[in-house]
Structure 1
Amino acid sequence: MNKGIKVLNIFLGSKARRGWPSPFYDYDARAKEWISRLDELKSQLPVEFMNYVISTMDEVNRLEREIDNSIDAIFVYILTSESTRFTYLASKRIADLGYDYIHKYGGYGIPTVYVIDLYGGDISGLPLVEDLEKTSRRFLIISSNDIGEIFKALRVIYAIKMLNSSKILVITRREANPAKYLSPQYVGLVKQRFGVSLEYVDYSDVKALYDEVDMDAAEKLAKKVMEKALEVREPSKSEIVKAAAIYLSLKKLLEKHGANALAIDCLGWLEYGKVEMPTTPCLALSLLNDEGYVAACEADVHSALTMLVFRYLAGRASFISDPVVDVAENAVIHCHCTAPTKMDGEAAPYVIRNHADSGDGVGLQVFMREGVDVTVAKFIEGLNEMVVSVGKTLGNVNIDRGCRTKVKVSVPDARKYLCGYKGGLHRVLAYGNHLTALEDLSRLMGFKLTLEGV
């Protein structure tokens, strides 16, 4: 999987008798300052820059030769605003260059980001926003000299690139309800909107890999998981070893198919009875998410797509949950048996439990940190809309009703959240406030962002 992005940086500037910052401004020197600062970002994100300082329309038009399918984004730095309106007109022309090239991300134009260099590009850059909106261009605009704002935009571009090279394995049976995600129409929709591939895997393929697992390796892993636990409650050691073996078989499956994500019909696994599986996959999903994969339960492809977004937009694991709305406490409690232990890279305390719904298998009761900003989101049916809310963790609910991990999260208005609820049962929770990043992603990828509970 190609994990780097290639960015075309265009620095626009010219001299005129009248303009900002001044008629005598050295925009070449300013461009060199930006280039030096941008190079510092290479240690934080795998990015390659192609840099051009442009001062004439002829040079702008020649840029068309530099645009091919290796370019993941165009960043336009507006350094001056002059009476000739060069930087304004050049910016509009570059929007056309990026739009006209039918890019690999679902047929959209190349993502274009405009950067207004403060006290220089403002007079050219601000009117540009309305003009580009009228032509339905998908673009971002940054008005700041803070390199951190550039990094945030690059992270969005990186997420788009990584989605485009992602593959989700849908593990179910052809006759099961989740097989609807495998129709040619749906597979094509996911590919068109996000660049993500879906691939069907039958339960029997997982069972075959399970039968080949090195049980000594599974026992060592089970011992490690048990040693780190606060307590082992219901499951026996032998059950935990089987759960560890499921993890090893699912990891092998991902490697075999060149995939970075899976959505498994775990409830069907328990109910169909057509493939004899030794235990539930709950522990396996927790461990896979800890390790950097995306692993969603109940074959929920919409949630898996949302988890992929958080993985690459925020660089973090996320928690697929069943929401419980408490209007009295103005909170939503997010519950499931598949929580990662490393939501922010640091291991959280956990108790080894069984799967609450069935009383079988192995799942983790993870105790998440209190007072942490979180973002909760999900793509809904049609994949043209994402619902999202932001809040703060208020603590963990430690009762035996419902799924094992239960983290309470504040919402602006729980009653509005409840009465406006849509999009199916699950939600996906990630540490951190990622609302601005999701807004930017929605602008570039063309989906609607709807706030919940407001």
Structure 2
Amino acid sequence: MKAKVGLIFSVMPKEKPTWPYKGYDYATRVKKLSSLIRENLPDVDFVEQVLRSPEEFDEEKFKGVKVFAVVLVGIWNGVARKIIESGKPVLLVDDLYGGSGEFLQTLGLALRKGYRVAGVASSNLLDSINAIKVLSAIDLLSKSRILVVKELEEERFNVLKENVKRTVGSELVLISPEELISEYEKTSPEEARKIAEKWIEEALELVEPSEEEVVKSAKMYLAMKKLIEKYGAQAITIDCLGLFYRGKLPAYPCLGYVELLNRGYVATCEADIDSAITQLLIQYITGRPGFVSDPVLDQGSGYIVYAHCLAATKVYGPKGPRTPYRIRSHSEDRAGAALQAYWPSGEPITTVKLNLARRAMALHSGIIRDNIEEEKACRTKVAAEIDVDKIMYNWNRVVDFGWHRVSVVGNFKREFKLAARLLGFQLIEEDS
């Protein structure tokens, strides 16, 4: 699946006395910028046009394009305003000292009118390229399919489905627990055992679960992967606690989730659709897996502790190194197989959560300082240094995001702020 981005270069007639200057070689500058953008974003399908006036815009050429980047190389032709008035997400890029005046004026006007628009103005072209990557993530989100494994009335599910489609464009597909279990029962025991043996071999320790329990988890992984492939999905989320507690699941999906996350898919606990979409956004922007957690605040240490019974171990993406882990039981019921991951201390960590119904994004960041060893609560406990008091009194104060938050290794606050603007979401910085 590739993102498609409309790439517009806004220029002026060469003989016009305006910024950059009369006689400026727009063609050479556009060629250079286009080449650099394409070289750095090879996985994006760009539909490009150079415009000197709004009337030159080729409607047919851009049919089906959902997001636009407008690079202002010259000023005062009205092209940027024309694209913004389409109502689609638009990133304005100021080619410094060429497009600056129209960039600022158009951005301000668009924000006053409530359009989904963001801007980038930097002497470092990589800032513009990173911003275009965020824009491409918005397009990928609109093309994504999420499997929801849950016992849910069709009418209620359709309301959720329509809200998601209307808000970010993603498609929800309801999967019955019976279909998942059917795939589980059809899996190859030999293939599952090989996967389980690999998981155990790579672990620091197999603590509570038996080897057979890990084999069951591997069968669940194969079943989930089969469904993802069958439906052409990018994500799966299961009502794991509810179904397991009611005897509807033969194994927890925790270890299988880790394997999927390590391979670049999205796998989300507890049929949490907002968290699944947050994870997708994280994956598309950073190329890294998101960690869904139940955060705990500790004023004594100054830490926020992100706790859950699994986290990806390839925190830098599928091609990166693996962090250490132990295979544990699921914490609350001391049953099944789960995972205690150890994330790298000293690394920045960015935490996000979307609320689609309220069109809002929560955001904060910190530095990973520890992995807490504590038998109470979920197995994985990643501790980050942060202003705990600010988080405490900003937590769900304006919008209720629930308990879950989704974290990723790295400092990506700027990227997610851009994403919030392009989605038209209210941004709530929990650490401000």
Q: TM-score normalized by structure 1?
A: 0.88
The Cα shift of 1:414 comes to: 1.1
User: Match for residue 68 of structure 2?
Assistant: 74
Question: Percent identical across equivalent pairs?
Answer: 32
TM alignment of 1:69-218, pairs within 5 A:
69-81=63-75, 86-87=76-77, 89-96=78-85, 99=86, 109-174=87-152, 182-218=156-192
User: Match for residue 5 of structure 1?
Assistant: 4
2:91–2:135 CA contact under 8 A, matched in 1: no
Residues in 2 aligned to 1:31 and 1:380: alpha-carbon distance in whole angstroms = 39
The Cα shift of 1:36 comes to: 2.9
Query: Partner amino acid for 2:81?
Result: K
Query: Partner amino acid for 1:424?
Result: G
2:365–2:431 CA contact under 8 A, matched in 1: no
Pairing 1:291–2:266 present: no
TM alignment of 1:253-402, pairs within 5 A:
253-273=227-247, 275=248, 277-345=249-317, 346-380=321-355, 382-402=357-377
1:11–1:31 CA contact under 8 A, matched in 2: no
User: Match for residue 33 of structure 2?
Assistant: 34
The gaps in structure 1 that reach 5 residues or longer are 100-108
1:232–1:351 CA contact under 8 A, matched in 2: yes
What secondary structure, in the 3-state scheme, does the structure 1 residue paired with 2:149 have? strand
Query: Partner amino acid for 1:33?
Result: K
Pairing 1:409–2:384 present: yes
User: Match for residue 430 of structure 2?
Assistant: 452
Residues in 1 aligned to 2:297 and 2:94: alpha-carbon distance in whole angstroms = 43
CA gap of 1:171–1:91, structure 2 versus 1, over 3 A, is: closer
Pairing 1:430–2:408 present: yes
Residues in 1 aligned to 2:185 and 2:21: alpha-carbon distance in whole angstroms = 73
Query: Partner amino acid for 1:129?
Result: L
Residues in 1 aligned to 2:3 and 2:277: alpha-carbon distance in whole angstroms = 20
The Cα shift of 1:122 comes to: 2.0
The Cα shift of 1:50 comes to: 1.8
1:334–1:407 CA contact under 8 A, matched in 2: yes
User: Match for residue 104 of structure 1?
Assistant: none
Q: Cα deviation per residue 1:318-337 (whole Å; 9 max; x = unaligned)?
A: 11111111012222101111
Residues in 1 aligned to 2:236 and 2:93: alpha-carbon distance in whole angstroms = 37
User: Match for residue 21 of structure 1?
Assistant: 20
Q: Cα deviation per residue 1:164-195 (whole Å; 9 max; x = unaligned)?
A: 111221112237xxx89x43222211110011
Residues in 2 aligned to 1:242 and 1:90: alpha-carbon distance in whole angstroms = 58
CA gap of 1:336–1:445, structure 2 versus 1, over 3 A, is: same
CA gap of 1:299–1:42, structure 2 versus 1, over 3 A, is: closer
The Cα shift of 1:269 comes to: 1.9
Query: Partner amino acid for 1:153?
Result: A
The Cα shift of 1:363 comes to: 0.9
Residues in 1 aligned to 2:16 and 2:133: alpha-carbon distance in whole angstroms = 39
1:375–1:435 CA contact under 8 A, matched in 2: yes
The Cα shift of 1:128 comes to: 2.4
1:8–1:71 CA contact under 8 A, matched in 2: no
Residues in 2 aligned to 1:416 and 1:36: alpha-carbon distance in whole angstroms = 44
Pairing 1:225–2:214 present: no
The Cα shift of 1:448 comes to: 0.8
Larger radius of gyration: 1
Q: Cα deviation per residue 1:38-76 (whole Å; 9 max; x = unaligned)?
A: 332243x33334242x33x3xx30314345333243333
CA RMSD of aligned residues (A): 2.1
Q: Cα deviation per residue 1:122-164 (whole Å; 9 max; x = unaligned)?
A: 2333222222223333222222243312221221222112111
The Cα shift of 1:381 comes to: 6.5
1:279–1:360 CA contact under 8 A, matched in 2: no
Residues in 1 aligned to 2:279 and 2:346: alpha-carbon distance in whole angstroms = 22
Query: Partner amino acid for 1:224?
Result: K
1:365–1:405 CA contact under 8 A, matched in 2: yes
The Cα shift of 1:37 comes to: 2.2
Residues in 2 aligned to 1:183 and 1:165: alpha-carbon distance in whole angstroms = 19
User: Match for residue 47 of structure 1?
Assistant: 45
2:164–2:356 CA contact under 8 A, matched in 1: no
The Cα shift of 1:279 comes to: 2.2
Query: Partner amino acid for 2:412?
Result: H
User: Match for residue 106 of structure 1?
Assistant: none
The Cα shift of 1:428 comes to: 0.7
1:391–1:409 CA contact under 8 A, matched in 2: yes
Residues in 1 aligned to 2:21 and 2:275: alpha-carbon distance in whole angstroms = 51
Residues in 2 aligned to 1:358 and 1:17: alpha-carbon distance in whole angstroms = 73
Q: TM-score normalized by structure 2?
A: 0.92
1:418–1:453 CA contact under 8 A, matched in 2: no
Structure 1 stretches of 4+ with a deviation exceeding 6 A read: none
